[in-house]
Amino acid sequence: AAKTAGKNRYLKFRPEMMYELVERTEMEAGLRLAVDSGQIVVHYQPILPTGGNSGLQVEALARWELNGRIIQPRHFIAAAERSGLIVEIGTEVLMRACTELGPWLREDAARSVAVNVSGVQLRHGDFDELVVAVTESCGVDLRQLVLEVTESVFFDNDFDVIHQLKRLRKAGVRVALDDFGTGHSSLGRLQQLPVDTLKIDQSFVAMIQTGAEELPILNAMIAMAHGLGLSVTAEGVETAAQAAYLVNLGCESLQGFLLSCPQPAAVLDAGLSRAEAAIGLTLAAHRADH
Ligand code: C2E
Ligand code: MG
Ligand code: MG
Ligand code: MG
């Protein structure tokens, strides 16, 4: 396949290729510097339970702080994965999250922090040991850590990746499947994966309009997750109508701008209070309806 696909491509040089190469190289050099000089920072977004049984959670989201400006992950995570720098960035995010949220987590054992993990980190090896070492040194209980992975980490059926996640789960870590619905994993497969929670991708949540009729795919995804014994978090909840719809379907947790945007640790308390007030309104309306 490489022979036939590659033949014409080698011969034609397009000027854009040069720009792409320069851009990539500059981006990687910039990221290298960012990692070395502490420009990778973390913002936190609340994930709120809709029932009484679980505690507050926050998701740690990487930001690149450059000359007083904040660069969003969509501009650098792909480059970091391509260059392998995601291994160091991911470690930095985990360490910062455990350090900055350590005191908050120790106040209440039901609280937790979710950290995004790239397949590159898992395939790098010894990720499980890193997680244990970092949480231990920060005094964070493994039962208060959630690792968010996407379906793609399971694509090539990498035994070691699955083994690491299984080991971590045995030690109390929870695993969430991020952006669920955008990948290609079969439902049969889902049953075998070492995951605890499905995070429904925001594109599905965006389909819920005010006065929405039944949304078969969304309803089926949530029912299937529950059938498999998984809890469900909805991402990208922006409106009260979406929140109401998801609470009705029994979604265990909500995350989105309706509740709170991602914010630095220093202002997290205020963000959490606002988010709790917002979800309180949703739940009060739900109870009044039933
Ligand atoms: P994600 O893990 O699915 O994170 C959710 C994204 O949705 C975040 O974008 C968040 O700011 C955004 N979001 C939250 N609520 C809403 C909402 O109501 N409406 C809309 N439109 N968006 C909402 P963010 O922070 O830009 O991160 C984008 C992606 O970058 C993340 O998606 C994750 O895949 C990746 N990422 C971020 N930090 C890390 C990291 O430390 N490591 C790795 N490997 N990936 C990361
Ligand atoms: Mg995530
Ligand atoms: Mg997501
Ligand atoms: Mg995403």
* pLDDT (tens digit per residue) in 192-223: 899 999 999 999 999 998 777 788 989 999 99
ipTM: 0.97
Find out whether 158 and 123 touch, Cβ atoms under 8 Å. yes
> Cα of 284 to ligand 4 centre, how many Å?
30
* Residues flanking ion ligand 2, Cβ below 5 Å: 116, 148, 178
Instruction: State the pLDDT confidence band at 2, using cuts at 50, 70 and 90.
Output: very low
The whole-number average pLDDT for the span 44-65 is 94
For residue 153, which ligand has an atom nearest its CA? 1
Amino acid identity for residue 108 in this structure: D
The pLDDT > 70 percentage for the chain reads 96
Q: What are the pLDDT digits (tens) for 72-125?
A: 999 999 999 999 999 999 999 999 999 999 999 999 999 999 999 999 999 998
The answer to whether the CB of 257 is under 6 A from ligand 1 is yes
- State the distance from the centre of ligand 4 to the C-alpha of 274, rounded, in angstroms: 24
For 84, phi and psi rounded to 5 degrees? 90, -10
Going by alpha carbons, the residue nearest to atom 46 of ligand 1 is: 116
Let me know how long the chain is. 290
Best mutation site among 70, 178, 235 for ligand 1 pocket (most ligand atoms within 8 Å of CB): 235
pTM score, two decimals? Answer: 0.93
Q: Is 73 in the pocket of ligand 1 (CB under 6 A)?
A: yes
| Residue 112 structure tokens | 């937790």
Cα gap 43→68, rounded to integer Å: 15
Q: pLDDT higher for 91 or 26?
A: 91
Binding site membership of 256 for ligand 1 (Cβ less than 6 Å): yes
DSSP strands (E only) in the chain:
40-49, 57-66, 69-71, 112-116, 145-150, 174-180, 197-200, 231-234, 253-254, 263-264
pLDDT score, position 157: 78
**Atom 44 of ligand 1, residue of closest alpha carbon:** 118
254 lines ligand 1 (CB under 6 A): no
Residue from 77, 175, 201 to probe ligand 1 pocket by mutation (most atoms less than 8 Å from CB) = 77
Residue 1: pLDDT over 50? no
Pairing status of strand 40-49 against strand 263-264 = antiparallel
Report the alpha-carbon distance of residue 289 to residue 274 in Å, rounded: 23
Nearest to 168 by CA among 199, 122, 219: 122
User: Is the pLDDT assigned to residue 52 strictly greater than 80?
Assistant: no
Question: By the 8 A CB rule, do 131 and 173 touch?
Answer: yes
φ/ψ of residue 194, rounded to 5 = -80, 70
Report the range of poorest mean pLDDT among 26-40, 77-91, 185-199, 248-262. 185-199
Residue 115: other Cβ atoms inside 10 A = 22
